[in-house]
Amino acid sequence: MKKAGIGLIIMIVVGAGVFFGAQYFTKTGLFKIPGVVSYDENLPEEVFSKLRGIFNDEIKLESDVIVGVVDYLEKPELSAGEFLYDIYVPVTDFYSTETDIEIERPEELFTNCLECPYKTIKISDLDFSKKLLSINNKYYLDEFDSGAVFRVIKFESDKYEEEIKPLIGETFVKTFPSKDSVLTFAQTGVTALSRGMNAKMRQVGNGAYFAEKIAPFLSSFDLTHTSNESSFTDFASSSNICSDKRFIDTLTAIGLDIVELGGNHNRDCGIQAALDSLEMYRERGISIVGGGASATEAAKPLLINQKGSGITFLAYNQSTGGATYNDTPGANQYYEENAVAEITAAKERGDFVIVDIQYYECNAYASTYEDPICDYPQNVPGDEIGFFRHLIDLGADLVVGVSAHQPQTFELYGNGAIYYGLGNLFFDQVWWPGTTRSLVLGHYFYNGKLLQTKITPTVYDSALQVQVMDEETAKWFLNRLAEARP
């Protein structure tokens, strides 16, 4: 019995030795080493801080995990354990004419370069006071899957689903601007489909002809606006500021969503033509601002709520005539008390506030050479600079002049931006270089914030077809306007 007991004990000891020995050499069971977390040295410090809080001393992992970071020039398709953590974009000075940078590798965007005309910021820090540049001719706010550096955080583990995913939860899930969430809004200047354009219409017989070259660009925006100065009538001629009714097809061709009627010529064709024009817009679902069938109707702000952004659009005729004071159609006359009340109410709603103004015009048109006098707002009758800046002081975020027949300068002022004049989008003034040009303001809104206003100059020639200005001329022209700022 004694020998049997000793044998049993030996068997137990040997078995235990084999059992625990196997665990020791295979690092399992009692001798298992907890999973190790390894970090990429390029991880941002803020990510390190989050990870330290997750993988603290109390957490014991069964498998090793490697946390890495990878940057891409194209937005990647994400696999399990991968998160788009940040998007970085190049920006430059608001007044710069630079538009693009060329890089081959993502890390080049973060190179310290004293001579580089840009700096790199997170997309969350982008606002209208900085000018967004494209990367390799890809503009992020148009593309969304290029034109930026996309930073991805990667978790690699044999037990990602069982161990890592429950621990990190939604920590690294972020939402970024996308086509579905960014509201694009094209603001254009003077449209006067009249006089020589009526003569051309008799030749071509097609309103869409005039928009043929610019339509693909303008109709690509969620919202497209213009300030139309003439009404539709059967009595349009080559000598009056009245529009052949077929010109409605010019406006629908550019995808017009908002027509501004604050100009001084909409009653030139008579009251009935002005009323008929209002009906033509409504039939086509085109919103109206700055004018109407009566003073009360003309004074109504246009409230825009799309893609998570609220915008109050106000339009006034301050000085050029054509305003309505009663129950006849016309433009919305500017009154200080009304502007104060409407801007205040809009800010209380949390809206972004755009104020368009029909101001006095610069009339230095009589030259066939480049005359930059009208670039400068101080060369307009009245105190254009003081008046426009005053509207920013009242709380407007963006102030735009829509009476100028040739583009004027622009500036950042206070907490907003001012564009003193946008020039002619559609008109017949081909005799002077300045009046053939306009500025299209391409606004990009995200969650109620104006991320960017991208300026695109346009031009028309004797064929009266509007097109985007070529890149070299656009750079020269925008530089000229920027240098004319107050």
Quick: pLDDT tens for 40-71.
998 989 999 999 999 998 888 999 999 999 99
Domain borders along the chain are: 37-168, 182-483
Q: Which residues of 212-249 are buried (b: 16+ CB within 10 A; e: fewer)?
A: bebbebbbebbbbbbbbbbbbbeebeeebbbbbbbbbe
Among residues 480, 482, 433, which one has the least CA distance to residue 461? 433
Quick: pLDDT tens for 470-479.
999 999 999 9
Which string of DSSP letters, residue by residue, matches 270-323?
A: -HHHHHHHHHHHHHTT-EEESEESSHHHHTPPEEEEETTEEEEEEEEE-SSS-B
Q: Per the structure block, which two tokens stand in for 169?
A: 């939860």
pTM of the model: 0.92
Quick: pLDDT tens for 346-364.
999 999 999 999 999 987 7
pLDDT score of 12 more than 70: no
Lowest-confidence range among 5-19, 202-216, 222-236, 419-433? 5-19
pLDDT score of 28 more than 90: no
How far is residue 132's CA from residue 130's CA, in Å, rounded to a whole number?
6
pLDDT tier at 369 (50, 70, 90 boundaries)? confident
Burial of 167 (C-beta count, 10 Å sphere; 0-12/13-18/19+)? middle
- Backbone angles phi and psi of 244, in degrees to 5: -55, 135
Half-sphere exposure of 228 (CA within 13 A, CB side): 30
How far is residue 167's CA from residue 52's CA, in Å, rounded to a whole number?
12
Task: State which CATH number among 3.30.930.10, 3.40.50.2300, 3.60.21.10, 1.10.760.10 fits the domain covering 182-483.
Answer: 3.60.21.10
